[in-house]
Amino acid sequence: MAQWIAACAADDIDPEDVIPFSRDGIDYAIYRSPDDGYYATDGHCTHEKTLLCDGLVMDDVIECPKHNGRFDYTSGKALGAPVLTDIRTYPVKVLDGTVYIEIG
Amino acid sequence: MGRERLARYSLAGPENQAAVDAGLAGGDWFRSAVPRKRMKELMRRSDYPAIRDTVIWFGLIGLFGGLGIAFWGTWWALPFFLVYGTLYGSTSDSRWHETGHGTAFKTRWLDEGLYQIASFMIMRDPTVWRWSHTRHHTDTLILGRDPEIAAMRPARLVRLLANFVGLVDVTIAFRLMFVHAAGRLSADEADFVPESERPKVYRTARIHLAIYAVTIGLAIGFRSWLPVVLIGGPRLYGAWLLNVYALTQHAGMGENVLDHRLNTRTVKMCAVNRFLYWNMNYHVEHHMFPMVPYYRLPELHEEVKHDCAPVYPSIWAAYKEIIPAILHQLRDEEYYVHRELLPGAPPFNVPTPMNDGRGLPLAPAPAA
Range of the domain at A96: 3-103
Q: How far apart are CA B99 and CA A103, in angstroms?
A: 37
Contact residues for B337 (Cβ-Cβ < 8 A; gap 6+): B252, B253, B254, B321, B325
CA angle B223, B85, B202 (to 5 degrees): 80
Residues of A in contact with B44 (CB under 8 A): 56
pLDDT of residue A40: 98
pLDDT of residue B349: 87
CATH number of residue A40's parent domain: 2.102.10.10
Amino acid letter, residue B227: P
Q: How confident is the model at residue A22 (pLDDT cuts 50, 70, 90)?
A: very high
Number of structural domains in chain A: 1
Whether this prediction's pTM lies above 0.90 is answered by yes
Helix (H) or strand (E) holding A4: strand A3-9
Give pLDDT < 50 ranges for chain B: none
Which residue of chain A comes nearest to B290, CA vs CA? A66
Contact residues for B64 (Cβ-Cβ < 8 A; gap 6+): B80, B81, B83, B84, B87
Residue by residue, DSSP assigns B32-92 as ----HHHHHHHH---SHHHHHHHHHHHHHHHHHHHHHHHTTTSTTHHHHHHHHHHHHHTTH
pLDDT of residue A72: 98
**Residue A91: pLDDT over 70:** yes
Whole-complex ipTM: 0.91
Mean of pLDDT values over A26-49: 96
| A87: closest CA of chain B, how far (Å) | 18
pLDDT of residue B354: 75
Q: How confident is the model at residue A81 (pLDDT cuts 50, 70, 90)?
A: confident
Amino acid letter, residue B95: R
Residues of B in contact with A84 (CB under 8 A): 194, 196-197
With an 8 Å Cβ cutoff, are B26 and A54 in contact?
Answer: no
pLDDT of residue B367: 54
CA B232 to mean position of chain CA atoms:
19
Q: How far apart are CA B62 and CA B44, in angstroms?
A: 31
| B85: closest CA of chain A, how far (Å) | 31
Does residue B226 belong to the interface with chain A, where contact is any CB pair within 8 Å? no
With an 8 Å Cβ cutoff, are B290 and A84 in contact?
Answer: no
pLDDT of residue B293: 98
Residues of A in contact with B291 (CB under 8 A): 55-56, 63-66, 68
